[in-house]
């Protein structure tokens, strides 16, 4: 089946979708049979759900759960969803701890490393910044957990450096930590959208005395282009000044499992913390995110004991003392069953496919006169502009948005649109194993034909 054959979802407008869904929220005193409820869901909701396994789904970080992972998720649902501590799930709590240790070994993080499962990459990033702030406070001689931001001599000097392409969850994190967005200082990127090391050095020197840079964030797989920042240089620069180095590898850290990609990740084993989302490229059901730390003691900054569980005197495995949620899902099981079922060789092969497709697409576009792609793809994402002759340069941004809307409107594929600086780019992302190189070429042809419908002559609206 080609992507021309079927739609990604019903294609209905938001108003129609909402109208269709009303029976699903018409709660009544009288119950319905399970079959009737199931039929309602099948008829009213399922047609409007996005088909992540469709070869035309080339836009977002979502996947159909891998079968081994889906099996693990079912077992968790059937037995113990919650694994906060030994009391609610002895096996679940112990599995989470063992899985974290095993992943630290798999990623070669060092003897003292540890990890915790999180609800999402966003929260993992937030916790990393919290721990960095906590350590900064320890250096200043106070307990951040107790005194908070007012404990700092001059909170307005606190600063975090991150790529201008870093994920917006960092902005959310600094808001929620009470630091405000003023503390996030964007770092310039090079032509391949990786942090420019020279600018970083210059900026750090300039900021000395003016700002307290307590954390530097390297992104391993930026959301827009999949770029991997030069981690080793950033670790070096951060550690020289006593700053925490966090790697946001929510999307891209999976690729560090490939020996041929390891050089791109050089230095990652020295990072203080790393965010990773197996729910993205690995296809593990949501929520499946982790936060790694170089030194397991770092998690003690998160620990709060209570009298009814997470008790200080407990000696059993207790994942709940490493990160906030007191209700936490059994995320370790679907990840473990998936890795066991596939085996690491197959996992690696599956990781290679998007990289190969996207690199081939980059080469293909480089040979076309009407496309421009500025960055070398580090992972499974490619951004480019369609630049046909009939559209003047001044209207190119408008053209990309027009194409994006037209592709989505057609309903048989989805791509995304992003902005790099002032330039609007189309973005293709390969997640699902069902997306083949030929499907990407088909998308390029669709972009061309839809682009012809754009009137390059008339005045911009």
Ligand X SMILES: Cc1ncc(COP(=O)(O)O)c(C=O)c1O
Can you give the binding site for ligand X, defined by CB under 6 A?
A: 61, 120-122, 125, 167, 169, 219, 221-223, 248, 250-251, 277, 289
Minimum CB distance to ligand X smaller for 167 or for 395: 167
Compare residues 317 and 329 and give the one whose CB is closer to ligand X: 329
- Written as six digits, the tokens of 409 are 């409107």
CA-based torsion, 22, 28, 31, 32: positive or negative: negative
Nearer to ligand X, 190 or 370 (CB): 190
Q: How far is the CB of 154 from ligand X (least distance, A)?
A: 29
At its nearest, how many Å lie between ligand X and the CB of residue 60?
Answer: 8
Confirm if 77 and 88 have CB atoms less than 8 A apart.
no
**For ligand X, the closer CB: 27 or 168:** 168
b/e per residue 87-111 (b: at least 16 CB within 10 A): ebbeebbbbbbebbeebbeebebee
Nearest approach, Cβ of 119 to ligand X (angstroms)?
8
Residue nearest ligand X, CB atom distance:
121
**CB-nearer residue toward ligand X: 163 or 310:** 163
In DSSP notation, 252-297 reads: GGGGGGSGGGGGGGTTGGG-SEEEE-TTSTT-PPSS-EEEEESSGG
Q: What are phi and psi of 117, to 5 degrees?
A: -80, 145
The nearest distance, CB 352 to ligand X, in angstroms, is 20
Residue placing its CB nearer to ligand X in the complex, 85 or 169: 169
User: At closest approach, how far in Å is the CB of 40 from ligand X?
Assistant: 30
Smallest gap from Cβ 287 to ligand X, in A, equals 8
- Least distance from C-beta 222 to ligand X, angstroms? 6
Name which of 85 and 289 has its Cβ closer to ligand X: 289
Q: How far is the CB of 253 from ligand X (least distance, A)?
A: 9
The DSSP secondary-structure symbol of 305 reads -
Nearest to 358 by CA among 377, 337, 334, 332: 377
> Which stretch of DSSP H or E encloses residue 381?
strand 381-386
The set of long-range contacts for 74-83, using a CB threshold of 8 Å and a minimum separation of 24, is 75/333, 75/337, 76/329, 76/330, 76/333, 76/334, 80/330, 81/329, 81/330, 82/327, 82/328, 82/329, 82/330, 83/319, 83/328, 83/329, 83/330, 83/332
Reading across the β-sheet that carries 158-163, which strands appear in turn? 114-118, 289-293, 273-276, 244-249, 212-219, 158-163, 184-187
CB of 42 to ligand X, least distance (A): 28
Q: How many helices (H) and strands (E) does the chain have?
A: 12, 11
Output the smallest distance, CB 59 to ligand X, in A. 12
Instruction: Work out how close the CB of 216 gets to ligand X at its nearest, in angstroms, rounded to a whole number.
Output: 15
Among residues 227 and 450, whose Cβ is nearest to ligand X? Answer: 227
Q: Tell me which residue of 456, 457, 405, 395 sits closest to 426, measured CA to CA.
A: 405
Whichever of 63 and 167 has its CB closer to ligand X, that residue is: 167
| Residue 352, φ and ψ in degrees, nearest 5 | -70, -30
Nearer to ligand X, 222 or 337 (CB): 222
Between 249 and 317, whose beta carbon lies closer to ligand X?
A: 249
Least Cα distance to 275 among 328, 203, 218, 200 occurs for 218
Q: Residue 37: enclosing H or E segment and its boundaries?
A: helix 34-40
Q: How far apart are CA 347 and CA 197, in angstroms?
A: 32
């Amino acid at each position: 089946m080609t992507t021309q054959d079927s739609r990604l979802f019903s294609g209905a407008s938001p108003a129609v979708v909402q109208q269709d869904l009303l029976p699903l929220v018409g709660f009544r005193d009288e119950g319905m049979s399970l079959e009737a409820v199931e039929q309602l869901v099948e008829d009213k909701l399922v047609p409007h759900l996005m088909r992540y396994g469709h070869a035309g789904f080339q836009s977002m970080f979502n996947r159909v759960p891998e079968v081994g992972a889906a099996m693990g998720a079912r077992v968790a649902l059937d037995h113990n969803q919650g694994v906060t501590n030994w009391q609610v799930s002895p096996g679940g709590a112990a599995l989470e701890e063992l899985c974290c240790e095993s992943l630290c070994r798999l990623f070669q993080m060092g003897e003292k490393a540890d990890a915790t499962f999180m609800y999402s990459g966003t929260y993992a990033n937030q916790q990393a910044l919290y721990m960095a702030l906590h350590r900064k406070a320890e250096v200043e001689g106070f307990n951040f957990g107790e005194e908070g931001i007012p404990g700092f001599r001059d909170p307005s000097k606190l600063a975090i450096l991150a790529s201008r392409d870093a994920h917006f969850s960092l902005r959310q994190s600094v808001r929620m930590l009470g630091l405000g967005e003023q503390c996030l200082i964007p770092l310039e990127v090079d032509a391949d959208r990786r942090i420019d090391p020279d600018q970083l050095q210059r900026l750090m020197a300039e900021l000395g005395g003016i700002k307290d840079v307590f954390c530097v964030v390297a992104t391993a797989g930026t959301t827009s282009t999949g770029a991997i920042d030069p981690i080793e240089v950033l670790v070096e620069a951060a550690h020289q000044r006593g700053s925490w180095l966090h790697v946001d590898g929510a999307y891209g850290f999976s690729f560090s499992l490939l020996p041929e990609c390891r050089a791109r990740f050089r230095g990652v084993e020295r990072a203080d913390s790393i965010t990773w989302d197996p729910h993205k490229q690995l296809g593990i059901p949501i929520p499946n995110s982790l936060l790694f730390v170089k030194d397991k003691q770092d998690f003690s900054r998160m620990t709060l004991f209570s009298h009814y569980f997470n008790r200080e005197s407990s000696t059993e495995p207790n994942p709940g003392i490493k990160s906030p949620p007191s209700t936490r899902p059994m995320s370790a099981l679907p990840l473990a069953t998936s890795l066991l079922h596939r085996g690491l060789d197959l996992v690696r092969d599956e990781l290679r496919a998007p990289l190969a497709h996207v690199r081939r697409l980059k080469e293909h576009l480089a040979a076309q006169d009407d496309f421009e792609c500025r960055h070398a793809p580090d992972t499974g994402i490619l951004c480019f502009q369609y630049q046909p002759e009939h559209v003047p340069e001044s209207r190119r941004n408008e053209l990309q948005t027009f194409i994006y809307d037209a592709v989505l409107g057609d309903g048989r594929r989805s791509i995304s649109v992003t902005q790099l600086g002032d330039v609007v780019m189309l973005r293709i992302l390969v997640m699902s194993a069902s997306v083949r190189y030929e499907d990407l070429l088909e998308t390029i042809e669709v972009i061309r034909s839809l682009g012809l419908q754009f009137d390059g002559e008339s005045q911009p609206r």
